[in-house]
Amino acid sequence: MGLTLNHFLVLGAALFVIGLFGAISKRNAIAVLMGIEIMLNAVNITLVAFSFFNTEKPYTGYLTGQIFAIFIITVAAAEAAVALAMIIAIYRKRNTVDVGEIDMLKL
């Protein structure tokens, strides 16, 4: 008995919940970004699993899920680069990365 689609879906759901908890509960901006990246990787796991198991012949799969996963990885890399640049700029101005103390839009 090998791995089934349910195994991958449970793994993806567990990773998504861990990432969501990290993104919501942390006050450090870098930890929030790490939680978001974990959530995106959980979505990648489920997309690849769906594309792998979605076929009449087992284990041949279509490439749709893998292509979507590549696009998600690209968007995640761009998001991480822009967000880290913003965090560095905020740290230089405020000397903190605590999301509770970042209120630069307030007058």
pLDDT digits (tens, 9 = 90+) for 13-46: 999 999 999 999 988 888 999 999 999 999 999 9
pLDDT tens digit sequence for 3-20: 889 999 999 999 999 999
- What pLDDT is stored for residue 25 in this prediction? 93
Tell me the torsion sign for CA atoms 42, 45, 51, 54. negative
Domains present along the chain, CATH in parentheses:
5-94 (1.10.287.3510)
Type and span of the H or E element at 43: helix 29-53
pLDDT tens digit sequence for 49-101: 888 887 666 666 677 788 889 999 999 999 999 999 988 988 888 888 888 88
- Its pTM stands at 0.82
- What pLDDT is stored for residue 60 in this prediction? 61
- What pLDDT is stored for residue 100 in this prediction? 81
Percentages (nearest 5) of helix, strand, coil residues in the chain = 70, 0, 25
- What pLDDT is stored for residue 2 in this prediction? 85
